[in-house]
Structure 1
Amino acid sequence: GSTLGIEGVREYRVITNSFSAEYGMTMGSQVMVVTKSGTNTLHGSLFEYFRNSALDARNFFDYKTPTSDRRLPAFTRNQFGGSIGGPIKKDKTFFFGVYEGLRQRFGVTTISNTIGAGCHGPGGAVITNTVCPQLMSVPSVTISPVTAPLLALYPSPNLSNNRFTFPFTQPIQDDYAQGRVDHNFSSADRMFGRYTFSNTTETDPLEYPQFRTERYSRSSFATLSEDHVFSPALLSTFRMSFSRTHPNNPSPSGIIGPQYSFVPGEEIGTLNIGGVTKMGPNVAPTNFRQNIFTWSDDVFYTRGRHSLKFGTLINHYQQYLYTTVNSVGTVTFANLANFLQGATSQYSAQRPGSLRDRTYHFNTIGFYAHDDFRVLPRLTFNLGLRYEFITVPREQHGKEAALRDIVHDAAPTLGPAFENMSLRNFSPRFGFAWDVRGNGKTAVRGGFAELYDIGIHGVSFVIASQATPPFGAFCAVGTPSTLRGLPLEFGECNALRLLDYHMKQPHMLDYNLTLEQQLPWQMGLTLGYAGSRGYHLMQEKEGNPGVPQILQDGRKFFPPLPTTGNPNAFRINPNWGSIDLHTAEGNSWYNAFQLGLNKRLSNRMQFQSSYTFSKLIDETQGQAGADNQVSSIWGVDPFNRRIDRGPADFDLRHNWQFNTIYQVPQPFQSGPLRAMLNGWRASSIFSVQSGYPFTPALRTDRTRSGINTGQPGADALTFGRPNLVPGRTAYDITHGTTAGCGTGTTAIAAGQKLGTPNLWFDPCAFTLQDAGFLGTSGRNYLRGPGYFNLDFSLGKNIPVKQLGENGALEFRGEFFNILNHPNFALNSTARQVFAGTANGEAPLSTAGPLTWTGSARSRQIQFALKLLF
């Protein structure tokens, strides 16, 4: 239902100015939605939006294959619905209802880097690099009987450069309904009740045809609100609400059996091979159900020059989750040669018998007072104070524990996962507005706020429940070994996922200053500065790294890993393996210059233009445990956060947005062409953005620091960075041509143009460091492709007087990405530079090329009809 519901919305606001104390609980922007209500007149609408592939252009990566000569995947999309509202009892009781539906079958082009046909064979077969160039400098290998059945699951390439594509039709069914009843008890007392329901089913492709992710989501929201006017100067709004969200995303494959299963009785797990797109199901299928009971009351009082607001907000959370993260196991190989021989870099799985379900209860409570004080006729101050906190979440059945001293504890302590860090969350707010000349044409606005994020717990609970003894853990072999058979053989199950018991409170200082100037021709200019400073932001980090040696030149050196005795003897706490620690130690710095030019409707035209030049620096971020596929949420050195200080994953340096609406002149005042050619309007949205930063990475843990070894999903997103060749800069790595490097069929050929889909960045700008050392390249040192898009629409309203005063038939033709400009995106495979197994090795052949366009689409055309009555 997240894409639907617009028909029931009367007002929509995104609040980015956080200087009013009535808004809190989060450090980000907030969305305020006011829904439509009934009136004394019966009114409503019916609509249909339609798209299909016959109207669209192909994606840049839509290819014909030997099994399909269709270059443009099939696509149909129908979005339909209607609304109706009116009186139940005139002047007293009103109703309004809306239904919206979406039915879509979207053809998805998936391109994966697979294993060449010459690299396939049964167990015991000898494969040479003559027939299998992906072996690179390895002359020949003998296929392991353990990995031979897994090898057979990889399809042979049907595109050049060992790429494989397959057609997939992504079905989506979405239903949304909302009903609202308003009642006026008197002129001073009114109430409304509203119920909203949505249900969504979706099936998404993964990297190979055998695998998919199914997504189911059902949500219900109920609200009861009363407004009471005590006097012209005093009024109150009381609300109570209930919401239930229930997402579920299973990832079945049906591939099960002793020759495939990494864990007894489970389906096949995830295979990570350097230079090859990962194979396997979704590593984290989760069933999550959340109930939120909310009570709030806001009092508004006006006296003289003061407009006062007071209020409270109470939320009671009930969260149930069942997560099977890494229950099927993950196996990582540095490169194809190692995979064929069964030589792993590491492997892991959730401990069989782990308790996977949790039920948590907790509350968030906030109070505020705010005063909009008109100091002078031309100067207003906004003064506020908010206090908010969270109660310590408790698991209903006592399935919770923590390592309270992560350095020394040999056993967990039963009880809460962390101590309360929110009891000092006082949030001062200050803002001002100054009419400089007193004529309403020049204004200066600004403000400051200290904000807290107390809504960090949903995903954190999921993480903490997966591998916290004694209720669960990850079994891992974090050093190179040879597979002797399947299922996997494990030693101790002591790789953990934890919340930091002594976690600090994430908070942020937010500030801005804006100049607004009214211009002739109904135009307005805005110049502004916006900034923020984040403290104690949520991060994922290695909580139990290896202890390095400090060399005379100051460099850190991690000795070879133990081969006998305790495999964790090199770590800070040798009682445990790798610990995925969710903590609040991050920092961020944001500064932005903002320029806006707006024109109100006059002479048939209105427009809005905004440009932002900004810089966002952080030290990795991982609140959601998510990644944008171009950087790591893990730092490379847990002992030194500064080494990971760099552009944030979502640092958007340049961002220009322009939209306009133009009322087409009406050339005919009478006659038969008037109805056809008059009354048209054209609109467009133009977007230009610079690229997001990314980090070239290694396929294996070259540093031997023990970071993330054995954790689920551990791959090149977390295994560190290579050395940067002296003299190379970020600009010349993505511009000009490459000088080439490597030998044989996998060499990077000299003269290839950089900054293109064929080779976005130069892998030859990097070298593999000696084992045990950190790489010298910086985090998010390079930039990915930018974004350029123009959407255009043409619409017309045709009055239909038979349907009442406001009766009309509205037609729209909408052209998304009308120029069909390809917008490329990086994925994790493209930025993996080295397998990381041997000194002097050549870059992976998959390093640099782009194989997808991310969420950007090719040109799509949509037609819409809407009937208003």
Structure 2
Amino acid sequence: MMKTKSMSLWGLLPVAVMLAVGHFGAVPVEAQILYGTVVGNVTDPSGAAIPGAAVVVTNRQTNWTRQVSTGPAGGFTVSTVPGGTYELRVTLEGFRTYVQSGLNVATNTVTRADVVMQLGQVSEQIEVSAQALALQTDRAEVRSEVTRATLENVPVPPGRNYQQLFVTLPGFSQPRDSHSIPSNPSRALQFEVNGTVAASNNVRLDGATQFNVWLPHVTAYVPALESIEAVNVVTGSFDAEQGLAGGAAINVQIKSGTNEVHGSAFEYHNNNKTKAKPFFLPQGERNPRATFNQFGGTIGGPIKRDRIFYFGSYEGTTDRQFAGGLYTVPTVLSRQGIMTESNLPVYDPMTGNINGQGRTPFPNQTLPAARMSRPSLLLNELLPMPTDPAAFQGNLFAQGIYGFDRHTIDAKTNFNITDKLTSYVRYSFLDYSANMPTSHGDLGGSVIRGGNPGQGYGNTHSLTAAMTYTFSPNFIIDSNFGYTLMDTNVEQPRLEENLGRDFLGLPGTNGTRRFEGGWPGFGINNHTAFGMAQNYMPYFRSDPQWQWIVNGNLTKGAHNLRFGMELGWQHLNHIQPEFYGGAGPASGRFNFAGGPTGLNGGPAPNQWNSYSTFLLGLPTQVAKLYQWPDQYNTRTSMQSLYFRDQWQVNRRVTLNFGTRWNYFPMPTRSDRGLERYFFPGAGGELANQVMVCGVGAAPRDCGVRQSKRLFAPTIGLAYRMTDTTVLRMGYGLNTDPWNIARAMRTNHPLLTAQTVNAVNSWQPVSRFEDGIPVLTEPDLGNGIIPIPQTVVTNTLDDEFRRGYVQSWNVTLQKQFRGGWVAQAGYVATRQTGFLGYEERNYGFPGGGAASRVYFPFTQRNVSTAVVNRIGNSTYDSLQTSLERRFANGFQMNVMYTFSKCIGIAGYGNSGDRASIKIPGYFHLNRSQCGQHQPHNYSTTGIWELPFGKGKNWATSGVGAALFGGWQINGMLNMYSGSPFTVGSSGASLNAPENGQRAHWVGGNVKPRKLGGTGRGQAFYDWTQFAPVTTPEFGSLGFNTLLGPGLINLDMGLFRNFQITERVRMTFRAEAFNATNTPHFGNPSNNISNLRLNPDGSFSSGVFEITGVRNTGREGIDERVFRFGLRFQF
């Protein structure tokens, strides 16, 4: 396989040599995406075409210029134009010189400038000014732009992340926080676009892809808001050049220097005194202490006038909080073994049959003290007491000190080396540190704020180097090199102590290396996990990526041809004992479900059954990850070619068509291939063994075929019906770029994910005191090795088939007087074969472990999955917008999306699993997508009040001093609620690896929404749902209910002071969630947890809303006032 890969790579190099001698490196990056294009038709007053006219575009701020001539039909194309504001000059003997100023050229955009020449002398001149917003006249993709005016004026919530403004764009789900501070120190937001998964978005910074290699659904680096010039967003019917993006292709442009020195300095502040009380803050508690500061500045200017320019930006962020949250701990009585608070019996596991039938309850709902386990009692004493003794869920309000420091630098240098050769280099850097407290103090537990327990630290580097060479006005070569390195680390508290082995006396827990220290994990159903509650700690990651592209641009008559190649590499270098599907960390984990103290055929076990199982020392699952080498790695590459023709069919019609070819070689490790498991009964002589690829006679590519026929065609039509109306139609297909090295990162024998499950839902796996069975490091031998039957594994079939995303749109756009532009379009996507884990060792209802597919062959009783296509999704929408770009002190943007998304339950992102794994029942997974939001509305506005110098009223004197310089900004967002499933205990289902949902008993009526919020209040009518107590799937579909909707208003009030002619100071007061309206999250959803009062009325346990929605604001939902001061020069 290595020979095949090498030949494929070398086969592309001659193409690169023919295109240019450029930079070296790559992944998805397109140089034209770094630039814009200016097109137009030149005619005389009668409408006749004028060939041979000289067309010159000039950026007066940098003196960059390019000249072309009109063709036989009077058309012209100026390609590879850096983003900025230009002057367009057209000259021809016998006509007056035409000069158009203020022509805005955005990256990845075609700007049309049609010219009507007037008869006269060349020395005579006609001057016109470009409008603030032009129609999208020549490309058929679905496109939006976040402009500099929006970035600088619209209220952006604390953290000031440009991705927050995606709420204003059609087709976007609400951006939300994702992952911990160490995994995502830039605090990049997660969002889905047009029904696709977040991992199919591709964000570029000055052309360099910012994939987070390990977590591809967020970006590796987010630049400071002050450093961004504009954000270009394409969300459908992609051009062939735009590459590997099925959801959104987003290009962020960093500011550049000009011949004038310009810059800014800023400070923003908010604290606990400037915000309201959180809705769910326990009664009597004061706002915890919190201070948030963000400060920095920018500067740009010339190094050598007209030739070399610089820009630099620094932003510092400090966040200090006495953070708090609600968690669930055992009640005072249940800690003593007294379970009288439960309305269900607690059964003695030593009575009855092995299948859980025939059991008798403990007398007086009390556990015998003599039967309680020693490790359980030790932990029982360390667990914090409830702060709300009357509550059963969310009864602990835990607090701790949280701190986060981040420093970012963005620097850029542009070179106009000659009239034909231009280049730029951008470097960005991030450094962070964080302290993240836990819910159970010294006993670990959930993270109160920050996402990972303990101390996090690290940095990120990002580099772009680009070059453009003009061989002739009609032939241009551009090249782009990108490099990003993300280094991040986090360590949990007490890592140096072997607490499982030495304090609790549990064999098989802690090891000899540092990352194997600390607490084991302890999970008790319906309680907050404690100890090492996360199955992925600690970690130390270093993930670089390189990318290189070379493009050619040839204008031939009415055709603008672009063609190019991409090469890319992504590396993972990790110290992290983690396995997707594994149940425990390197220090081990013990899980306790309610089955051993429940009754088969009786009511579903509840939280008192689970805690009884814990006190009796009867774990229902034990697990541990064995990471054998100190560090492990993966190596991934991709190769791509594309061709695109933009054809000006006539003055009214532009046709775009092209195709892209992608190839993804089989990933490897640095010294060998990956690993592949062969299933019993189907693997021949390799059955139930693991191939260590590249060792001995085992092929380095694992014998897995990767397709070389991944072609992605695109076509688009733009019809300029009138000068103010455009009809666009487009279609594009994109290959799913998901990196399967992520799915196969850790596998036996590199990492052995041991999970020991009980024989059924009603029996324990062992005694707590027995600890975890110990495994020994495997010998790689000749590359074919056995695998223990308690070890979880992921594998691949003989051929890996990638999925793809199709998108199409029909859009009508109309320009009105006053600079208003409206558009409405039908936008659709079809995601075919999205990639995830296909579970092959599932069990059947009522069958327990013995019913697992491969249990009869080898007694295999753990998850065994194939990385594969697992389903499809559909998305259809009406997307509308009304926009007026900033001009004369006013801007407004109104957006509305009405949509429907249907997908697979359990699948929300690349690498997920369906809820039900059994093929005969797989159709039950069909449901609304998790990101489905039928209604999405947004309005943003910027209004400079018409008072003061240069305005309509109070232009001088006291009136100007009092009323001048005021500005009002706002952003209003309204969303539908998000879908959720009403679940049920899976104990009676007894079908390993499968999810369960509730029974619907509400008849032929819709679910009744009661609208309750808070403890003891039901959001939906609980009487319409019932737990499942037999071995069958519930009758209610997945994702059938919607949680609370959201209405949010952010407002800003600015006062501008002109200090000198070039220096302006702005005082800013902003209110986020200005109306202090709670944005409630989805309610609790397990009907088996329902608890009733003695009179049969609702008490608690299900459909209770006890938290707020994730709105991408780090859990802060209450109103926050932020004050800022900004200087601009």
Normalising by structure 1, what TM-score? 0.86
* Alignment partner, residue 498 of structure 1: 794
Change in Cα spacing, 1:578 to 1:482, as seen in structure 2 (3 Å) is closer
1:448-467 to structure 2, matched below 5 A, reads 448-457=731-740, 459-462=742-745, 465=746, 467=747
| Aligned residue number for residue 1076 of structure 2 | 820
Map of 1:766 onto structure 2: 1025
Among candidates 864, 868, 873, match of residue 583 of structure 1: 868
Answer yes or no: is 1:388 the counterpart of 2:696.
no
1:127 partnered with 2:402: no
Seen in structure 2, the aligned counterparts of structure 1 residues 56 and 473 have a Cα distance that, compared at 3 Å, is closer
Query: Which secondary structure state, in structure 1, belongs to the residue aligned with residue 491 of structure 2?
Result: coil
Name the counterpart of 2:611.
339
Checking the alignment, whether the CA contact within 8 Å between 2:1016 and 2:1100 is kept in structure 1 is no
Bigger Rg over Cα: 2
The whole-number CA distance in structure 1 between the counterparts of 2:664 and 2:1007 is: 47
The corresponding residue for 1:225 is 466
Which residue in the other structure is 2:384 paired with?
155
CA, structure 1 residues 765+355, in 2 after alignment: closer, same or farther (shift >3 Å)? farther
For the Cα contact (< 8 Å) 1:22–1:370, is it kept in 2? yes
- Distance 1:490-1:74 versus aligned 2 partners, 3 A rule: same
Q: Indicate the SS of the match to 2:706.
A: coil
Per mean C-alpha deviation after superposition, the further-off stretch among 331-340 and 217-226 is 331-340
Match of 1:268 in 2: 519
Pick one of 608, 611, 619 that aligns with 2:896.
Answer: 611
Change (3 A) 1:482 1:282: closer
Aligned to 1:167: 399
Report the residue type matching 1:252 in the other structure. P
Tell me how far 1:420 sits from its aligned partner: 4.0
How many residue pairs match? The answer is 803
Kindly provide the amino acid, as one letter, of the partner of residue 834 in structure 1.
S
Shift of the alpha carbon at 1:16? 1.3
CA gap of 1:108–1:353, structure 2 versus 1, over 3 A, is closer
Question: Is the alpha carbon distance of 1:173 and 1:654 closer, same or farther for their aligned partners in structure 2, counting shifts above 3 Å?
Answer: same
Opposite residue 283 of structure 1, the aligned amino acid is: N
Distance 1:5 1:33, change over 3 A: same
The 8 Å contact of residues 675 and 795 in structure 2, kept in 1 or not, is answered as no
Give the corresponding residue for 1:747: none
Rounded Cα–Cα distance in structure 2 between residues aligned with 1:257 and 1:315 = 44
Whether 1:486 and 2:737 are equivalent positions in the alignment is no
Residue of structure 2 equivalent to 1:669: 955
Question: Which of the two has greater helix per residue?
Answer: 2
Alpha-carbon distance, 1:623 to partner? 7.4
- Which residue of structure 1 lines up, in the alignment, with residue 417 of structure 2? 185
Q: 1:850 and 1:789, CA in 2 relative to 1: closer, same or farther beyond 3 A?
A: same
Q: CA deviation at 1:38?
A: 1.9
Partner of 2:748 in structure 1?
468
Contact 1:647/1:780 (CA < 8 Å) preserved in 2?
yes
Matched, 1:831 2:1076: no
Distance 2:929 2:680 in 1: 28
Distance 1:665 1:700, change over 3 A: same
Instruction: Give the Cα separation in 1 of the matches to 2:470 and 2:576.
Output: 48
| CA shift for structure 1 position 604 | 5.0
Aligned pair partner of 1:447 in 730, 743, 752:
730
Q: Of 982, 987, 991, which aligns to 1:705? A: 991
C-alpha distance 397-32 of structure 1, shift in aligned 2 (>3 A): same
**1:533 aligned to 2:840?**
no
Aligned to 1:644: 925
| 1:665, distance to aligned residue in structure 2 (A) | 2.3
Relative distance call for 1:766 and 1:570 in structure 2 (3 A) is farther
**2:255 maps to what in 1?**
36
Mind listing any 5+ residue stretches in structure 2 that lack a counterpart?
1-185, 187-220, 348-360, 511-516, 579-583, 595-606, 694-700, 775-787, 948-952, 1091-1095, 1112-1116
Counterpart-to-counterpart distance in 2, 1:155 and 1:354:
35
Q: 1:293 to 1:771 in 2, by over 3 A?
A: same
Q: How far apart in 2 are the matches of 1:182 and 1:558?
A: 68
Tell me by how many angstroms 1:224 deviates: 1.6
Shift of residue 468, structure 1, vs aligned partner: 2.8
Contact map agreement 1:500 1:581 (CA 8 A) in 2: yes
1:147–1:339: 8 Å Cα contact kept in structure 2?
no
Q: Give the direction of change, closer, same or farther, for the CA distance of 1:432–1:128 in structure 2 (3 Å limit).
A: closer
Pick closer, same or farther for the CA change 1:662–1:638 going to 2, 3 Å.
same
> Which letter maps to 2:933?
L
Post-superposition shift, 1:580?
4.2
Deviations 1:548-597 (A, max 9, x none): 4xxxxxxxx443545xxx99865687446322443222111111111222
Correspondence for 1:776 among 1035, 1050, 1054: 1035
2:434 to 202, 213, 220: 202
**Shift in CA distance, 32/330, structure 1 to aligned 2, threshold 3 Å:** farther
Cross-structure match for 1:277: 528
Tell me, yes or no, if structure 1 residue 309 matches structure 2 residue 554. Answer: no
Which of 847, 856, 865 is the equivalent residue of 1:559? Answer: 847
Compute the displacement of 1:263 (Å): 4.3
Q: Does 1:251 align with 2:492?
A: yes
User: Is contact 1:116-1:134 (8 Å) kept?
Assistant: no
Residues 1:723 and 2:1003 are matched in the alignment: no
User: TM-score, structure 2 length as denominator?
Assistant: 0.67
Which amino acid is 2:279 matched to? F
Say which of 13, 17, 27 aligns to 2:246: 27
Q: How many Å separate the matches in 2 of 1:474 and 1:704?
A: 21
Bigger shift: residues 606-615 or 88-97: 88-97
Tell me the distance in 2 between the aligned counterparts of 1:645 and 1:388: 30
Query: Are residues 1:13 and 2:293 paired?
Result: no
Distance 2:301 2:770 in 1: 65
What does residue 739 of structure 1 align with? none
Alpha-carbon contact 1:833-1:847 (below 8 Å) kept: yes
C-alpha distance in structure 2 between counterparts of 1:337 and 1:153, whole Å: 20
Q: Contact 2:674–2:744 (CA<8 Å) still a contact in 1?
A: no
- The aligned residue for residue 546 of structure 2 is 293
The correspondence of residues 59-70 of structure 1 with structure 2, limited to 5 A, is: 59-64=278-283, 70=285
Aligned partner of 1:746 in structure 2 is: none
Using a 3 Å threshold, how does the CA distance of structure 1 residues 128 and 23 change in structure 2: closer, same or farther? closer
Higher strand share: 1
Q: Is the 8 A contact 1:62 1:73 kept in 2?
A: no
Amino acid at match of 2:528: T
What is the CA–CA distance in structure 2 between the aligned matches of 1:719 and 1:403, rounded to whole Å? Answer: 25
Q: Displacement of 1:58 after TM fit?
A: 1.0
Residue aligned with 2:1007, SS: helix
Range 489-498 or range 44-53, more displaced:
489-498
In the other structure, the counterpart of 2:939 is 658
Query: 1089, 1092, 1103: which is aligned to 1:848?
Result: 1103
